[in-house]
Amino acid sequence: MDATDLSRINGALWNAIADANARRNETGIDEEFRANVRLARITDGHLLRTLTENPELSTDRLRAIGRASNELIAQLEALTKMPDGQISDAPEPEL
Protein backbone atom coordinates (compact mmCIF):
# COMPACT_ATOMS: atom_id res chain seq x y z
CA MET A 1 0.00 0.00 0.00
CA ASP A 2 1.33 3.40 -0.91
CA ALA A 3 0.10 6.99 -1.08
CA THR A 4 -1.32 6.47 -4.59
CA ASP A 5 -3.47 3.56 -3.40
CA LEU A 6 -4.62 5.58 -0.42
CA SER A 7 -5.53 8.46 -2.74
CA ARG A 8 -7.64 6.11 -4.87
CA ILE A 9 -9.52 4.85 -1.82
CA ASN A 10 -10.10 8.40 -0.61
CA GLY A 11 -11.33 9.43 -4.07
CA ALA A 12 -13.72 6.47 -4.19
CA LEU A 13 -15.04 7.41 -0.75
CA TRP A 14 -15.82 11.00 -1.71
CA ASN A 15 -17.33 9.87 -5.02
CA ALA A 16 -19.68 7.55 -3.12
CA ILE A 17 -20.69 10.39 -0.79
CA ALA A 18 -21.24 12.73 -3.77
CA ASP A 19 -23.28 10.07 -5.59
CA ALA A 20 -25.49 9.57 -2.53
CA ASN A 21 -26.08 13.31 -2.19
CA ALA A 22 -26.84 13.68 -5.90
CA ARG A 23 -29.29 10.78 -5.79
CA ARG A 24 -31.01 12.23 -2.73
CA ASN A 25 -31.38 15.59 -4.46
CA GLU A 26 -32.68 14.03 -7.68
CA THR A 27 -35.09 11.38 -6.45
CA GLY A 28 -35.14 11.42 -2.66
CA ILE A 29 -34.45 8.45 -0.44
CA ASP A 30 -34.68 5.26 -2.47
CA GLU A 31 -32.84 1.94 -2.79
CA GLU A 32 -30.12 3.41 -4.99
CA PHE A 33 -29.51 6.15 -2.42
CA ARG A 34 -29.28 3.51 0.31
CA ALA A 35 -26.84 1.47 -1.82
CA ASN A 36 -24.67 4.56 -2.32
CA VAL A 37 -24.66 5.21 1.44
CA ARG A 38 -23.68 1.57 2.12
CA LEU A 39 -20.86 1.86 -0.43
CA ALA A 40 -19.66 5.05 1.25
CA ARG A 41 -19.64 3.34 4.68
CA ILE A 42 -17.80 0.28 3.33
CA THR A 43 -15.23 2.47 1.58
CA ASP A 44 -14.80 4.58 4.71
CA GLY A 45 -14.09 1.41 6.70
CA HIS A 46 -11.55 0.33 4.10
CA LEU A 47 -9.82 3.72 4.31
CA LEU A 48 -9.69 3.56 8.12
CA ARG A 49 -8.28 0.01 8.06
CA THR A 50 -5.67 1.06 5.52
CA LEU A 51 -4.58 4.00 7.66
CA THR A 52 -4.45 1.80 10.76
CA GLU A 53 -2.41 -0.88 9.00
CA ASN A 54 -0.08 1.68 7.37
CA PRO A 55 0.58 4.36 9.99
CA GLU A 56 3.36 5.82 7.87
CA LEU A 57 0.64 7.00 5.44
CA SER A 58 -1.50 8.61 8.12
CA THR A 59 -1.29 12.38 8.40
CA ASP A 60 -3.23 14.96 10.38
CA ARG A 61 -4.92 16.04 7.16
CA LEU A 62 -6.02 12.51 6.28
CA ARG A 63 -7.33 11.93 9.78
CA ALA A 64 -9.33 15.18 9.56
CA ILE A 65 -10.71 14.12 6.17
CA GLY A 66 -11.64 10.77 7.70
CA ARG A 67 -13.53 12.45 10.54
CA ALA A 68 -15.37 14.70 8.07
CA SER A 69 -16.36 11.80 5.83
CA ASN A 70 -17.53 9.78 8.82
CA GLU A 71 -19.79 12.64 9.94
CA LEU A 72 -21.26 13.06 6.45
CA ILE A 73 -21.91 9.34 6.12
CA ALA A 74 -23.61 9.31 9.54
CA GLN A 75 -25.93 12.10 8.35
CA LEU A 76 -26.72 10.17 5.16
CA GLU A 77 -27.33 6.98 7.18
CA ALA A 78 -29.79 8.89 9.37
CA LEU A 79 -31.76 9.78 6.22
CA THR A 80 -31.97 6.10 5.24
CA LYS A 81 -33.78 5.40 8.52
CA MET A 82 -36.58 7.92 7.98
CA PRO A 83 -39.86 5.99 8.04
CA ASP A 84 -41.41 7.63 4.99
CA GLY A 85 -38.20 7.63 2.96
CA GLN A 86 -38.61 11.32 2.32
CA ILE A 87 -36.71 14.36 3.43
CA SER A 88 -38.74 16.21 6.03
CA ASP A 89 -40.72 19.28 5.01
CA ALA A 90 -39.97 20.80 8.41
CA PRO A 91 -38.78 24.39 8.22
CA GLU A 92 -35.09 25.11 8.58
CA PRO A 93 -34.09 25.98 12.16
CA GLU A 94 -33.41 29.62 12.80
CA LEU A 95 -29.81 30.42 13.60
Which pLDDT score, from 0 to 100, does residue 61 have? Answer: 83
d(CA 20, CA 26): 10
Write down the pLDDT at residue 83.
64
Q: pTM of the full predicted structure?
A: 0.77
Q: Mean pLDDT per 10-residue run, the chain (95 residues)?
A: 84 91 88 91 89 85 85 89 59 47
Rounded CA Rg of the chain: 15
Cβ 53 vs Cβ 46: under 8 Å:
no
Helix (H), strand (E) at residue 24: helix 3-27
